[in-house]
A and B are shown apart, each in its own frame.
Chain A
Amino acid sequence: MIRLTDVPNAHRPVGRTVQAGRLQRLAQSLRHNMPFLVMASPGALLLLVFSYLPMVGIIIAFKDFRASLGIFDSPWVGFKNFEFLLRSPVLARITTNTLVLNGLFILAGLIASVGLALLLNEVRLKIAARAYQTVVFFPYFISWVIVGYFSFALLNSDNGLVNRALQSVGLEPVAWFSSPQYWPLILTLAHIWKSVGYGSIIYLAAMLDINPEYYEAAMLDGANKLQQIRYITLPHLVPVMIILTLLAIGRIFYADFGLFYYVTRDNSLLYPTTDVIDTYLYRALRVNADIGMAAAAGLYQSVVGFVLILVSNWMVKRIDPDRALF
């Protein structure tokens, strides 16, 4: 239950009558707001427990955490955990991989989503357009665990489809799960496969807002399809592209754990190009049980992530205040 503890100027000595008046007003205000407080309480309580209590737990990053002692009784170690993290080669690797791969996803996703939306928008046969859209949207509903099955069926080196296809045209099979150099491409393709349907829906919706008179005027002037796309459609989509990209950049420090964990099948040979902050955190916590390092890396992610969201939102706000998060 939420209580009102913040009584303005409560520390000042005040006359009895004034104080009584205040208390009365407070009681009145509480009575007035009580139904709202009761209605909000289940959701507020859940957020308090599952979002705000973990924020208190951030102090673990500055402690030598021992399960037997609990969070508060574990000894303080200052910045020791961060020193270890900074000295280990893993920090540079997971930071670079997270930024580079997410950057690739943002760029390739933007091009693929806009391109697909442009193509779908030109299909004149409505049934066909709907069928195409159904197929490209479908992967959005498939969990990364299932995509892990797909990557196994396609890429396993013994009898995967891709190696069989390579062999049938006389090429050498590739040991995909021990060749990290291919994975930035494979992960980008997997990301596009899963999200391009969703992205194209947003751009298609934006295209519906374009006044058809622009196209009519352009056709009267003899503009062909490509010119119409170049000079009418794309310029109208630019604001949406910029906003979506900025918002994605705001989240660039958070990786899509499922993609990196299941599609690579958590193969340690691939870590040089596929280990990201989120997979490292999971491994440090659950596999290596290195609580100190995991907590330090987690706080690093939360703080940098927070700054990035603030910066990206500030930029969005300058372009289009209606689309800013806050």
Chain B
Amino acid sequence: MAAAFPTRTHRPLSQLSRNKAQLILHAVMLSITVLFLVPLLVVVSASFTDEIALTKNGFGLWPSQFSLDAYNYVLLDPSQILRAYGVTTIVTLIGTVLGLIVMSLLAYVLFRHDFTWRRPMAFFVFFTMLFNGGLVPTYILITQYLKLRNTLPVLILPYLVVPWFVFLLRTYFLTLPKEFVESAKIDGANEWQIYRHIIMPLSTPALATIGLFCILMFWNDWWLALLYIDEPKLYPLQYLLFAILRNAEFLSSNTSASAMLASTQPPLQTTRMAMAVIAIGPVAIAFLLLQRYFIRGITLGGIKGE
């Protein structure tokens, strides 16, 4: 514990002891990062382990007996995972593009002081962040009244407008110099032109950041599928992974691979892990490339959270 008051008896640390402190710091940080990576390592190593060896020796940080059986099994008939990838890609693309358009339009309207009913509209958007009808009414509305169960739009529409992102965009618009809008008005530009040719081009950094968060939201979503999808053809990636983990049989339930391998025992345990690795892969690469934009987004959003 530090002394109650900083005193003059402490001289600046010598070079040597400062290096020692840095070494200890690195040791601490390295142990933390290793601990953080253990779960990931265990799953990756299991996916490269022989099925029988995994059952016998258990999960480890390194394959106890290296094998590509799991990946071969997945590649025998990759239609299931490719299909899920396809569903997720379509949902993510359409959801992000549509979401950015819809949210930026709404943010634009809330930003323009010329709009007479700006305040009531802002409250209309904002109130949804404070109060909601809850799971049951939403579920009944979507399944029984809108009849959206087992459709692609149900994976997109409920997430298109994120009120928090709308307000982030509006805040960003407010930081742009006022003169741009004013001079455009004097030149006779209408609202659509101001939105399309002035505000949007000036806001690409904010749009890109919020677009990334939308991509992450759609890509990682399992909630909407858990509630509204029970048609395997429409399973998005995350929900397929959940179905496989819950019931390993699902792996082989609608593939021809099971027929081909009927005589031998399919490597179910390791194949599950291989599926997880295949699903994480692209996310990991994208994360490594785009990390700093996410960091900028978090600090841009300030302290109000996700």
Interfacial residues, chain A to chain B (CB-CB below 8 A): 29, 32-33, 35-36, 39-40, 42-44, 46-47, 49-58, 60-61, 65, 67, 70-71, 116, 119-120, 122-125, 128, 131-132, 134-150, 152-154, 158-161, 163-164, 193, 198, 201-202, 205-206, 218-219, 221-227, 230-231, 240, 243-244, 247-248, 257-258, 262, 265, 278, 281-282, 285-286, 291, 294-295, 298-299, 301-302, 305-306, 309-310, 323, 325-326
Contact = CB atoms under 8 A, between A and B. Distances in A.
A201 B133 contact: no
A219 B12 CA distance: 7
A224 to B, nearest CB: 5
Contacts of A136: 32-33, 36
Contacts, number: 295
B158 A50 contact: yes
Given A44-B106, A51-B128, A222 B11 contact: yes
Contact of A152 (B124, B146, B245): B245
- Which of A51, A135, A147 has most B Cβ within 10 Å? A51
B199 to A, nearest CB: 11
Contact of B136 (A119, A205, A294): A294
Contacts of A310: 130
Interface of B is mostly: helix
Given A42-B105, A323-B303, A325-B304, A128 B26 contact: yes
Interface in B247-306: 272-273, 276, 279-280, 283-284, 287-288, 291, 294-295, 298-299, 302-306
Given A57-B138, A160-B59, A44 B121 contact: yes
Contact of B106 (A43, A67, A146): A43
A149 B299 contact: no
Size bin of chain B's contact surface: 35 or more
B292 to A, nearest CB: 9
Contacts of A58: 133-134, 137
Contacts of B220: 141-143
Nearest to A226: B2
A196 B108 CA distance: 34
A142 B10 contact: no
Given A143-B220, A258-B223, 6 more contacts: A33-B117, A131-B33, A143-B238, A153-B42, A227-B3, A285-B136
A299 B137 CA distance: 10
Nearest to B131: A306
A129 to B, nearest CB: 9
B137 A202 contact: no
B298 A198 contact: yes
Contacts of A218: 6
A52 B283 CA distance: 34
Given A54-B134, A142-B280, A222 B7 contact: yes
Interface in B169-198: 190-192, 195
Interface in B11-55: 11-13, 21-22, 25-26, 28-29, 32-33, 36-40, 42-43, 46, 54-55
B134 A301 contact: yes
A222 B12 contact: yes
Contact of A286 (B117, B227, B299): B227
Nearest to B60: A161
A55 B2 contact: no
B102 interface: yes
B303 A244 contact: yes
Given A145-B238, A159-B57, A201-B295, A51 B32 contact: no
B191 A39 contact: yes
A159 B54 contact: yes
Q: Which of B130, B134, B306 has the most CB of A within 10 A?
A: B134
B272 A149 contact: yes
Contacts of B25: 119, 122-123
B10 A227 contact: yes
A57 B29 contact: no
Nearest to B39: A150
Given A136-B32, A154-B42, A223-B6, A36 B273 contact: no
B87 to A, nearest CB: 15
Given A146-B280, A150-B40, A160-B59, A282 B135 contact: yes
A71 B142 CA distance: 13
A142 B279 CA distance: 10
B36 A141 contact: no
Given A153-B273, A159-B59, A285-B139, A55 B26 contact: no
Contact of B105 (A40, A132, A147, A282): A40
A260 B54 CA distance: 27
Given A33-B117, A243-B303, A134 B132 contact: no
A231 B220 CA distance: 41
B91 interface: no
A96 B91 CA distance: 37
A265 B272 CA distance: 15
18 contacts: A36-B115, A46-B102, A58-B137, A65-B140, A138-B36, A139-B36, A143-B222, A146-B241, A153-B39, A161-B59, A163-B58, A164-B59, A198-B306, A202-B303, A244-B303, A295-B134, A298-B134, A301-B134
Contacts of A141: 216, 220, 283-284, 287
A108 B284 CA distance: 27
Contacts of A60: 136-137, 140
